[in-house]
Amino acid sequence: MDRKKVISLSLGVTALCVMGVAFALDRAYPPNLVRYHDISQMVVDRNGQLLRAFLSDDDKWRLPARVGDIDPRYIKLLKAYEDQRYDFHPGVDPLAVLRAIGQWVSEGRVVSGASTLTMQTARLLEPRSRTFSSKLVEMARAVQFEMRYSKDDILAMYLTLAPFGGNVEGVRAASLRYFGKEPKHLTLSQAALLVALPQSPERLRPDRHYMEARFGRDKVLARMEESVKFSQLDLAEARNEALPLQRMRLPFLAPRLSQRLVSASGDAVVRTTLKAHMQKSLEDILALEDMWLEDDASIAAVIVENANRDVIAYAGGSDFWGPAGQIDLAQSPRSPGSTLKPFIYGLAFDDLLIHPETLIEDRPMVFGDYAPQNFDKGFQGTVTIRQALRKSLNVPAVALLDDMGPVRLAATLSHAGTKLSFARQGTAPSIPLALGGVGVTLLDLTQVYAGLANEGEVTPLKITMDQKASQPRRIMGKTAAYYIRDILSGSSMPDGWTQRAGFARRHTVAFKTGTSYGYRDAWAMGYTRDYTVGIWVGRADGAPRPGAFGRNTAAPLLLKVFDILPSDQDPYVPKPANVIDVADRQDLPLRMQHFERRSKKKHVAAITQRSVSAPVIKFPANGVAVALPDEDAHQGLALKAIGGAYPLRWMINGELLSQSTDMLADTYWYPEGPGYADVVVVDAAGRSATAHVQVLDGHE
């Protein structure tokens, strides 16, 4: 074998050995990316715009950044200033190393370093003291990174981890803190400052050392004058641009919702359905209104796009830093006042009990031991259904609910996904439900009002983009929903609204107000073809606010919120085929011309069907323990009662169970798991019985 072949073979074997050793070392000592993955959790809007960020586990503002998210001029300046051959070297730049060694030999000191951006990234991931051995480790890591990752991936690590003073790391966090904007669009001066800052993050902070920061920025610009061909005009403008005198707060939109979503998700980024600009506008309105609230009251608001049920703005309160500011009041059960009345009328429309022009009596009436009065303590006499709902008269609403039974309304709302919170667990729905005798959250109430806007079909609201679509649930027919919209669209405006300068009613808003007992809660719920808005005003502790009611407190705010929304694309609402248009009330069927209470006769007839005694729960009996059915079981626990007037309705912990179409058939309960439950049965006469039971794991 000749000499050349021997040398070639030797070199080949050596190369293989080196590669083998490198491969073994790479597997034995993989890169430590813990710091890179320990980023600030972020909540963003549907377009990726930051709403709120949270500190990383090591208390840093460390926001992830990719090359495509950064202004190209910054990337160009960074490479030109830090690592001109970044795109070509294998992690270590031999020319830079030779230059540094030559300068060290000739000058007897370090004149310039040889660290590439890849080596700096290795140091950011695994901080070490500045020693010769540390430099060798960084060089080895740099080569390893280049073998494992793309150039853009390595640059993303640097862009995420580079220090910018204090606990700010990464160019995205720095741009937001110093300039109040994302780094997608930076001025030349801003880009140069962000390139200079990591050289000495504390010494070059413009909010603390303005002149040093200015000098550092200008040094970068001076270097660029030779290596990057910017125009002299651009460079002059950059040198004259003022630097920030203080750091800004990171975006802090939808703080309560963001906190809840982050707590429930382990994802680094939670993408919501919110629109950042709409969220900001809503919070600005609430902040201004909050200045007029002098009794520690707060405001919650929700805006929904009806077409897809997306929540586009959400405020759980108006002052996050005020008393009880961290409580999400949009998800706190409160008495809804009169805001449930439209659903009573909707069910009555469905039953063909009434028409908008039907006459109904608003006179003193007694329902058992309950004698409702109107807000003004007076009575209107004989009115139409349209007038009764628009004026929010109490006696007509209670009379209708008494006729159809409060369980019917509770079942309808529960079917729509509304969680009803009664004063005592296990309490059966009763007549006061018509006037707010139950707890409902603003979010749930907005959801069912969005159902009114969507022709009576309720679909769960979407708050996150990855939330799975749900099947709609119909709570009333299209005709009933049309009547409700037609009536509420004619609601009179709040006092003085039309005279307030700067506001115009650009939408035809169907809205309903409500006030809970003792002036504790003021509500305004409204919708157009495209949007639904819910407003709640009150104190977090539920204290009374005399004189503050829905019409004078929440309704003006509702219309202000609609004023910031775009006009409906198509405000026309098609009229269902079954709508009855009447020129004269006499054209209505006789039974629909004037509403008369049927509840007493109906209940007596129902009672005589089986028994005059009140219902008694036979299974599960009060105080017993029952076994959790097997997952493979085709039936749950059969609920049984004796006595009572049919049909019987069953509730578990305040939630109504679906009823069989056969009123005499058994109702089955499928417990979600072990625990305690209140089982309630309610008969057609409104009488109830309760059993407190314990559910045990069947495998125990």
Residues 344 and 426 in one domain: yes
Residues 230 and 335 in one domain: no
Six-digit token string for 699? 């495998």
Phi, psi of 38 (to 5 degrees): -85, 75
In a domain, 274, yes or no: no
pLDDT value of residue 134: 79
Q: What does the mean pLDDT of the chain come to?
A: 86
Residues 575 and 687 in one domain: no
In a domain, 361, yes or no: no
pLDDT value of residue 91: 86
Phi, psi of 230 (to 5 degrees): -90, 155
Active site residue 596: no
Helices (H) and strands (E) in the chain, counts: 22, 22
In a domain, 8, yes or no: no
pLDDT value of residue 246: 94
In a domain, 540, yes or no: yes
Element (H, E) at 524: strand 521-527
CA distance 379 to 85: 86
pLDDT value of residue 15: 47
pLDDT value of residue 608: 42
Nearest residue to 386 via CA among 139, 588, 238: 588
**Res. 486: pLDDT tops 70:** yes
Residues 471 and 341 in one domain: yes
Residues 570 and 638 in one domain: no
Q: Which residue range forms the structural domain that includes residue 659?
A: 600-696
87-101 pLDDT tens trace: 999 888 877 666 655
Q: How many domains does the chain have?
A: 3
Residues 336 and 465 in one domain: yes
For the beta sheet containing 625-627, the strands, ordered from the edge strand earlier in sequence to the opposite edge, are 625-627, 688-696, 675-682, 649-652, 655-656
Residues 544 and 638 in one domain: no
Count of residues for the chain?
A: 700
First to last CA, the chain: 80
Residues 588 and 606 in one domain: no
Catalytic residue among 298, 338, 491, 688: 338
Confidence of residue 660 (pLDDT cuts 50, 70, 90): low
Active site residue 338: yes
CATH number of 203's domain: 1.10.3810.10
In a domain, 620, yes or no: yes
Residues 407 and 516 in one domain: yes
In a domain, 364, yes or no: no
- Cα–Cα distances (Å) from 511 to 300, 507, 554, 555, 679, in that order, read 17, 11, 11, 8, 36
pLDDT value of residue 32: 87
Confidence of residue 132 (pLDDT cuts 50, 70, 90): confident
Residues 643 and 520 in one domain: no
Catalytic residue among 40, 56, 82, 392: 82
For the chain, how long is the longest CA-to-CA vector? 120
Six-digit token string for 660? 């069989």
In a domain, 27, yes or no: no
* 3-class SS of residue 296: coil
Query: What is the DSSP track for 43-110?
Result: EE-TTS-EEEE---TTS-EE----GGGS-HHHHHHHHHHH-TTTTTSSSS-HHHHHHHHHHHHHHSS-
Residues 451 and 524 in one domain: yes
Location of structure tokens 């509420």: 488
**Res. 323: pLDDT tops 90:** no
Residues 625 and 506 in one domain: no
